[in-house]
Structure 1
Amino acid sequence: MDQAAPSGSPRRSRFWLYTPFVLLLLLAIAWSIAWFVIRNRAADALDGWLAAEARSGRQWTCGDRTIAGYPFRIEIVCNSLDLKRGAVTASFGRTEAVAQIYQPRRIITEVAGPLRVTDGAVTVQGTWDLLQASINATPAGLQRLSLAATAPKVTVTGIGGGEIAGSGSRLELHVRPNPSRAGEQARDVAASVTEARIPLLDALIGGGEPANLTADVTVTRADGFKGGTIAEEMELWRNAGGKLDILMLAATKGSRQIEAKGDLRLDEQHRPAGQLNLSAAGLDGLLGNLTGGRLGGNLLGMLLGQGRAPAQPNAKPQLAPLPPLRLENGFLAMGPFVIPNVKLQPLY
């Protein structure tokens, strides 16, 4: 005889079977709402920044702006980016700025060319294959700006002496406020260009080899762009007592090498002034160009040890310290000698 099943046996609940999926769905909904809230706040912050810039005289125009990046990023894209302040205008190609939701003060930017900057007299034009920048900020302001460009090409027109052109394999630039010299409004700048080709440098030093250039400098009184012409900006900087502290300038071009340390400023006639401590090798051609092949060139060459043979065949000559190079009253002086045929012209 069959026995009836107990009428009070419990039924197994399926609640815990579906709970993880329900929680995941709720989390996705909550995250989506949070992302759109953050997106709207980012748009409001950008509008506020543009308004603040406009009040300071800098008019930014972001063409066809879009904001995307769901679910973990905020991406702001301008199909074109333009800046106008006073007589100075600048234009860029498509610009994309990206920040992670969890790290909003670190912004990665990719900028397409071409670049064009002009003040109505001097014009700078540039192109590149890839240009990326990273901006690290704190509530107090900029902490660090880094930029890297592959295959950069730059042309400067409208200055005395004709067009200046240059290109390279890679450009890197790093800028940060100097934490120990805040009172001087100092900015540390480190830059390098690999395989640079600069016709003006070829004509001065000789040889067609590409050059590797590095710079590590500190600029004082670098309190921002005021919106005037390049000449007006330079004059404001000079009147404020601005100075360029050169921690290291280095150039290598074939067997030619030079390193410099010192400081530079602008005198009342807008000419470079200051002193550089140099070390060099293989600069016979440069000395000859500066002195016009006169006896002074041979004498300087002897003083600088340029005639020494390298220790091994095909080895590059060792850097030799040079007498200090002074820039005074529009002239160059090395040690006790004023270099003939060289007169520094006003920069503006």
Structure 2
Amino acid sequence: MKKRIIILGAVVGLVVVLWTGGWFFLAGMVRQQVEALALADGESSPQLVCGRLDIGGFPFRFDLDCAEASLVTGDMLVTVPSIRASVMVYRPNHVLASAHGPVQLADAFTGLAQAVNWQSLEASLRIENWRIARMSTVADGVEWTDALFGSSLIAAIPHVELHLLDIPEQHDAEAGRSALAAYLRANDVEAPGLQLAPTLAEAELEITGLPDDVRNWGQAPLLQDWQQAGGVLRIVGIRANDGSADLNASGELALDPAGYPTGAITVDSLGVAERIGPFLEEPWRTLVLGVPGADGRHANQLNFAGGGISSGLVPIAAVPALF
């Protein structure tokens, strides 16, 4: 009996040692991967730097804490006080994340300086067969302000949520391509500059032609790869309504070989033309929203082609290539 107890204790001790060694080995690999993001150039791929990086959660979790985070992509600098991500050892395909604000946004080219803060922000990501099965972000008490001169409120959103869902029937295993459905809902949006009363805003989108294996994301420039795969952004519906004005839009967009958006968006609205009058003068307002009908509703189709936007056959503006 004593010998069996000794053997059992030795086995348990060995398991503990192996588990501990495995956990610290994987934690070291995670640290290396995150620290490698700081070596990116910030142009061809975003550069993420953590002022302080901690990895804990032993023995059954991996908790990654990135404090004083900064993200550089092109001319844009984004700073975040704290980002936290957690994953259970026995469920490595499901990541839970949270962040503390405010996020500071600065554009060196345009001089933009803005901040986004919130009371709570949580996110989750679930991977199945290396495809995104579901990604969700939920935030409460969001405030978006212009910080260039003091602090001026741009918009306040008591509750907002964004969900990305895999569309299994559109998965092309042979081509290695998948599709995602996106749903955004923002409750009681207020924007003083646009005189928005509490507004319900929703958006339903579908994105096709994405690489199905998330391990391949970033190996090739995303937009070029998406264009070559024939990817399409399908705007199922964008809707906003504050009780006195409403806006609806739908359509499809893609990219041509030169990187210019191509496609069309149909816009239907009531009361929006009057609301944006101080910000968009005629004839541009009518060119964008269309001529009102007998019921007062505006309807129009915006066409994207060859690096420009047109209202019918009338050019409105140039659009830069996206790659």
Q: Does TM, normalized by the shorter one, top 0.5?
A: yes
> Is 2:77 the partner of 1:93?
no
User: Which of 303, 308, 311 pairs up with 1:332?
Assistant: 311
Deviation string, structure 1 residues 58-88 (Cα, Å, up to 9, x no partner): 4332333222224432212222222335544
CA shift at 1:217, angstroms?
A: 0.9
Match of 1:147 in 2: 137
Unmatched runs of 5 consecutive residues or more in structure 2: 212-216
Q: Does the 8 A contact of 1:129 with 1:152 survive in 2? A: yes
Deviations 1:234-282 (A, max 9, x none): 899889976531111111112333333222457999788613164x566
Q: Please, which of 30, 34, 47 is the counterpart of residue 50 of structure 1? A: 34
Corresponding residue of 1:132: 122
Superposition pairs of residues 182-221 of structure 1, within 5 angstroms: 186-202=179-195, 208-220=196-208
What is the alpha-carbon distance in structure 2 between the residues aligned to residue 259 and residue 298 of structure 1? 13
Q: 1:108 aligns with which of 85, 96, 99?
A: 96
Distance 1:261 1:164, change over 3 A: farther
Name whichever of 253-262 and 188-197 sits farther off. 253-262
Question: 2:179, 2:209 within 8 Å by CA — same for their partners in 1?
Answer: yes
Aligned residue type for 1:263: E
The residue number in structure 2 matching 1:37 is 21
In 2 relative to 1, CA 120–129 (structure 1 residues): closer, same or farther, beyond 3 Å? same
Shift in Å, 1:135:
1.6
**Sequence identity (%):** 20
Tell me, what secondary structure is at the counterpart of 1:255? coil
Q: Give the Cα separation in 2 of the matches to 1:324 and 1:195.
A: 27
TM-score scaled by length of structure 1? 0.63
What secondary structure sits across from 1:152 in the alignment?
A: strand
- When Rg is computed on C-alpha atoms for both structures, the one with the higher figure is 1
Q: 2:246 aligns with which of 254, 257, 264?
A: 257
Task: Give yes or no for contact 1:168–1:194 (8 Å, CA) kept in 2.
Answer: yes
Equivalent residue, structure 1, for 2:63: 75
Contact in 1 for aligned 2:35/2:49 (Cα 8 Å) = no
C-alpha separation in 1, matches of 2:50 and 2:230: 35
Name whichever structure is richer in strand by fraction: 2
Label 1:67 to 1:301 Cα distance change in 2 as closer, same or farther (>3 A): same
How many Å separate the matches in 1 of 2:281 and 2:51?
53
CA positional deviation for 1:214? 0.7
Could you say what secondary structure the match of 2:79 adopts?
strand
**Partner AA of 2:163 in structure 1:** H
1:174 to 157, 163, 176: 163
Q: Distance in 2 between matches of 1:127 and 1:193?
A: 15
SS at match of 2:125: strand
Residues 209, 287 of structure 1: CA spacing in aligned structure 2 closer, same or farther, 3 A cutoff?
closer
Q: Distance in 2 between matches of 1:215 and 1:110?
A: 23
Contact 1:269 1:346 in 2 (8 A): no
What secondary structure, in the 3-state scheme, does the structure 2 residue paired with 1:78 have? strand
Go from structure 1 to structure 2 and tell me whether the alpha carbon gap of 1:165 and 1:242 turns closer, same or farther (over 3 Å shift). farther
CA distance in 1, matches of 2:118, 2:61: 26
Q: Assess, with a 3 A threshold, how the Cα gap between structure 1 residues 32 and 74 changes in structure 2: closer, same or farther.
A: farther
Instruction: Name structure 1 gaps, 5 residues minimum.
Output: 1-12, 203-207, 307-319
SS in 1 for 2:197: coil
CA shift in 2, pair 1:26/1:173, >3 Å: farther
